[in-house]
Amino acid sequence: MPKTRISFWQEKFEKTIERDQRKTRELRLAGWHVITVWECELENSPDILPHGLAREIKGAD
């Protein structure tokens, strides 16, 4: 959390979380398999993307 304008950032984070949950739910209801990729995970392990996607795709049925 940033140290300045805390209430602004808190509200922004909360709205982003709500939006992401809503969009994920909408996509799943439309028949999509949703995979969330976090940038911070890729920075620490760049090879996680191809392996993680392959695992998700194999288990998507």
For every residue of the chain, which 3-state class applies, written as one string?
CCCCCHHHHHHHHHHHHHHHHHHHHHHHHCCCCCCCCCHHHHHHCCCHHHHHHHHHHHCCC
- Shared domain for 57 and 38, answered yes or no, is yes
Q: Domain count of the chain?
A: 2
pLDDT of residue 13: 94
Q: Which residues of the chain fall below pLDDT 70? A: 60-61
Query: Does 9 share its domain with 22?
Result: yes
Q: What is the pLDDT of residue 57?
A: 79
Same domain, 21 and 39: no
19 and 41 fall within a common domain: no
Are residue 4 and residue 22 in the same domain, yes or no? yes
Q: What is the span of the domain harbouring residue 6? A: 1-30
Residues 2 and 26 in one domain: yes
Q: What is the pTM of this model?
A: 0.68
